Chains A and B, each alone.
Chain A
Amino acid sequence: MIAYVVNRLLLAVLIVLVAMVILFSMIHLVPGDPASIVLGTRATPELVQAFRERMGLDDPLALQMLRFIGRSLAGDLGQDLFSNAPVAGVVAREMPHTFALAGLGLGWSVALGIPLGCLSAAYRNSWTDRILGVAAVSAIAVPSFVVAIYTLLVFAVGLRWFPALGAGPDGQPLTQLWHLVLPSFALGLGWVGYICRLVRASMLEVLAENHIRTARAFGLPERRILFRYALTVGVLPTVTLLGSGTGRLLSGAVFIEIVFNRPGIGKLVLEAVNTRNYPIVLGAVLITTITFVLCTLVADVVAALLDPRVRERL
């Protein structure tokens, strides 16, 4: 198990390094002088030169890249072009909002998806199963930003049950939770469908196995068989899916943050791209990449802990 974890850790470090190189190259290979783009029509040649010196843009690209990687590894992601605030601090301030959104979105999908998947499997080929099937596929098919707009129009504009904007004032956790309900639901709905279908499929497979037949032969209650013996095995593919799904949830959070005007990494990156604030773009995308790699790593380790066959495969 230790060898497995070490292997996965090394792989994760390699992925992050490659991501850093790609990220840096993408930003700098886009045509156009960042100094002229950022400073706009008002920039005098002296101002452009001062900016280039401040950003180290006159150095060779390879040196700039090495400097970026070295500083990033030391935790220094540079400075915001406009406010001069450290990028790490700016990103750290936004991250809890994105994590809260993705976490609660994941919460919705697990809390609804697993029971509905079990229900679907328990009543296989019944009307309940068919209705749940159609609902799950519909939830998968509708993009999260469409769900976001409609939930906003119905629950915030029409009924005025929930706030339409922002994350709520700092220091008021209940209000902040209230602000999270609609965005997290919009983000998690698609995943409710995914998890429901996945749990159903794996549960049907498990329910057909010998140990379940034996449990039934012993006369154990169906509920106990379903949740104690079938679900513990049937939920394994969902654990792996949640690891990779976190990355997709984070990218989905971008749209949700924009539609609900919530603070977070997605909104931060969008605004930074619009204002060509490259240090913020680099820093925020790098942190998101690391988060994604870590989530996948944790999901892999958890899956290996639950199923010994997984760790033998690496």
Chain B
Amino acid sequence: MPRNTLTRRTILAAPALIGAAIAPREAASQSIKVLKTRSLLDVAVLDPANRISVTDGDVMRAIFAGLVTQKSGDVWGWDKDLAVEIEQSDPTHIRFQLRPGVAWSNGFGEVMADDVKFSYERMADPAFKAAYRTDWDFLDRVDVTGPHSGVIVLKRPFVPLWSSTLPAGSGLILCRKAVEPLEGRKFTLDPPATNGPYRIKKLDPRRSITLERNPLWTGKRPAYDEIQYIQIVDSNAAEIAYQAGEIDFTQVPLSNVPRLRKSPPPNSRLHVAPSLAYWWLGMQSEAGPFADIRVRRAVQYALDVEMILDGTFLGVAERATGFIAPSLLGRRKANKIVKPDPARARALLAEAGLARGFKTNIGVRNSTEFLSAAQIAAASLAEIGIIAEVIPFDAGQQKALAGDKNGRWKEMGIMISRFTMQPDPSWATAWFVSSQIGEWNFERFSNAEFDRLHEEAKGELDQAKRQAMYERMQDILEESGSYVFLTNGATASLHRNSVKPALSPDGQFQMWSDFAPA
């Protein structure tokens, strides 16, 4: 009869064998420099023309190169990338010279000036219906003057080209030979040819994307051999994963910043960058009590913005002086109404014949931060007799209400909103022009001077004049009584001391080719 050989040693050996089965792969991954970083969303579209999220942008900047690239650091700016020379010879002509010898993957040859022409004209083509067509709205054509040289010709001057088009996703270059034969000249997750410092090693939808160095890349060599971009939807789960040592870099919610400042995880640094986004409290200006500018001004004087920010962002976010973020041209130095003045607010209400106050709604997105801000605002308004009920809704409902043809927008007196933007001030003013009423101009604000300035500023090359134009536009917004600027917010991220991150000035984008071991 066979003996039973199950001993304590056998039992103890089992986990060791399991460990040994797992260990070789782990050990192998240690021999190369790997950066493990968190993405909030799944990679959805890698075609620059139709990119969707920050995640797509991060990956695209690693696998494709453009004429210029966004600088990392605290100040918005650009560096040459595939262009060895690039200059604006006049307000509508930009000459460029490509670095020779940059290769496309999959045997598609060298990056040529004709690829630049194809990439930018494809995006500007109305028939192509690119999601980011507005970035190239002013493009007339790209003239190819040599194998590696060309001229970008604009219909009229367009200043955001240098801040939110060329250095951003819309400035990345695709391979004509590889992309043109594709159905509809587009692709989603399977770029037929790439030319950036990294290439896709493994794409695991809804889990992660792994990039490795592109052996054909002739530019500056990236410090990390491999980037693992791991999708973690929940921010708190991401922080736990960071603490468990499974990722090296992650964004963290602003509400966690005070705690992390007090007791950061070991060997870690917290980085807080001013965001480009803008939060505001807006009043629709066409119906009900808010049609009277004195009522809107009363609300402006009644609100204690500092209290709203303290309660919502726990002291992390600064008060905004307008829609344009502090890091951009066009920022205003100060608000016109700096401190709450309930007495003046009551007097304005009395002048408008509403001394006893009235009832209204505050519409907000259904999230903790929006609801907190709305409740604190409602408390401020109660002091002057305005009883505001907080109505939470989905972002889509807000848009539907604003554009409702039966006038349901009248139901919402006040809304607290947040928009994100590109690093050019024109993106902050674009949604408040008269043509946006019923679309994204929730307040139904209309001012001819504002509309004119918005169009003119997009083509103004003189920086000082442009600054003055945007300051004036924000003055007009505040003087209309329809807007109370809350904050531009901030973006917080956590990284190990062993990692030197390279982020865009707003902390949103990760420039992996500039990340380095510390």
Contacts and interface: CB of A to CB of B under 8 A. Distances in A.
Interface of A: 30-34, 36-37, 39, 41-44, 46-47, 50, 82-85, 90, 93-94, 149, 152-153, 156-157, 160, 163-167, 169-170, 172, 174-175, 178, 258-261, 263, 267-268, 270-271, 274-276
Given A32-B397, A37-B399, A160 B41 contact: no
B207 A263 contact: yes
A-B interface, 9 closest residue pairs, ranked by CB to CB distance from nearest: A32-B396, A37-B396, A164-B244, A32-B400, A82-B44, A156-B244, A31-B397, A165-B241, A261-B232
A268 B206 contact: yes
Given A32-B400, A165-B230, A165-B246, A156 B240 contact: yes
Interface stretch (B17-25, B321-329, B384-392, B457-465): B17-25
B237 A42 contact: no
B335 to A, nearest CB: 25
Given A260-B237, A263-B206, A163 B22 contact: no
Contacts of A36: 396, 399-400, 403
Interface stretch (B66-74, B126-134, B172-180, B493-501): B126-134
Contact of A30 (B244, B247, B396, B403): B396
Given A258-B233, A271-B42, A152 B244 contact: yes
A33 B404 CA distance: 11
A42 B22 contact: no
Nearest to B56: A82
B243 interface: yes
Given A166-B208, A172-B22, A270-B233, 16 more contacts: A31-B396, A31-B401, A37-B396, A84-B188, A152-B244, A153-B240, A164-B243, A164-B244, A165-B244, A169-B25, A258-B233, A259-B240, A261-B230, A261-B234, A274-B41, A275-B44
Nearest to A255: B234
Interface in B36-82: 41-42, 44-45, 52
Contacts of A170: 204
A47 B129 contact: yes
Given A31-B397, A166-B207, A42 B244 contact: no
Given A83-B44, A263-B207, A160 B399 contact: no
Interface residues of B, number: 48
Contacts of B401: 31
A83 B46 CA distance: 10
B189 interface: yes
Interface of B: 18, 21-22, 25, 41-42, 44-45, 52, 126, 129, 131-134, 188-189, 204-208, 230-234, 237-238, 240-241, 243-247, 393-397, 399-401, 403, 419, 431, 440
Given A153-B240, A164-B241, A261-B237, A42 B132 contact: yes
B129 A267 contact: no
Nearest to B427: A41
Given A94-B206, A267-B233, A33 B25 contact: no
A84 B208 CA distance: 19
B440 A271 contact: no
A37 to B, nearest CB: 4
A160 B244 contact: yes
A77 B207 CA distance: 22
A267 B205 CA distance: 12
A47 to B, nearest CB: 5
Contacts of A37: 394-396, 399
19 contacts: A31-B396, A32-B400, A36-B396, A36-B399, A37-B399, A41-B419, A41-B440, A42-B134, A82-B52, A85-B205, A153-B240, A163-B246, A164-B241, A165-B230, A170-B204, A175-B22, A178-B18, A261-B233, A261-B238
A121 to B, nearest CB: 31
Given A164-B241, A165-B230, A33 B400 contact: yes
A153 B232 CA distance: 17
A38 B366 CA distance: 17
Nearest to B408: A31
Nearest to B401: A31
Nearest to A33: B400
Nearest to A38: B396
A34 B400 CA distance: 10
Contact of A174 (B22, B41, B393): B22
Given A82-B188, A261-B233, A271-B206, A152 B240 contact: yes
Contacts of A167: 207
A165 B133 contact: no
A86 B132 CA distance: 25
A197 B269 CA distance: 48
A174 B400 CA distance: 50
Nearest to B22: A175
B188 A157 contact: no
A31 B22 CA distance: 50
A160 B44 contact: no
Given A46-B129, A82-B52, A258 B399 contact: no
A259 B241 CA distance: 10
B365 to A, nearest CB: 12
B21 A258 contact: no
Given A44-B133, A271-B206, A83 B188 contact: yes
A179 B137 CA distance: 49
- In this complex, which of B44, B45, B419, B440 has the most chain A Cβ atoms within 10 angstroms of its Cβ? B44
Contacts of B208: 166
A157 B244 contact: yes
Contacts of B204: 170
Nearest to B400: A32
A274 B231 CA distance: 14
B21 A174 contact: yes
- In this complex, which of A34, A157, A261 has the most chain B Cβ atoms within 10 angstroms of its Cβ? A261
Contacts of B21: 174
Contacts of B400: 31-33, 36
Contacts of B393: 31
A169 B133 CA distance: 39
B258 to A, nearest CB: 20
A268 B41 CA distance: 11
Contact of B396 (A42, A44, A267, A276): A276
Contacts of B419: 41
Contacts of B247: 165
Nearest to B232: A261
Contacts of B206: 94, 263, 267-268, 271
B185 to A, nearest CB: 15
A30 B394 contact: yes
Nearest to A41: B440
Nearest to B44: A82
B134 A164 contact: no
B54 to A, nearest CB: 13
Contacts of B233: 258, 261, 267, 270-271, 274
Contacts of B132: 42
Contacts of A149: 240
- In this complex, which of A34, A42, A84, A178 has the most chain B Cβ atoms within 10 angstroms of its Cβ? A42
Nearest to B127: A46
Contacts of A160: 244-245
A271 B234 CA distance: 10
B464 to A, nearest CB: 29
A211 B188 CA distance: 68
A39 B131 contact: yes
A222 B206 CA distance: 53
Contact of A172 (B25, B41, B396): B25
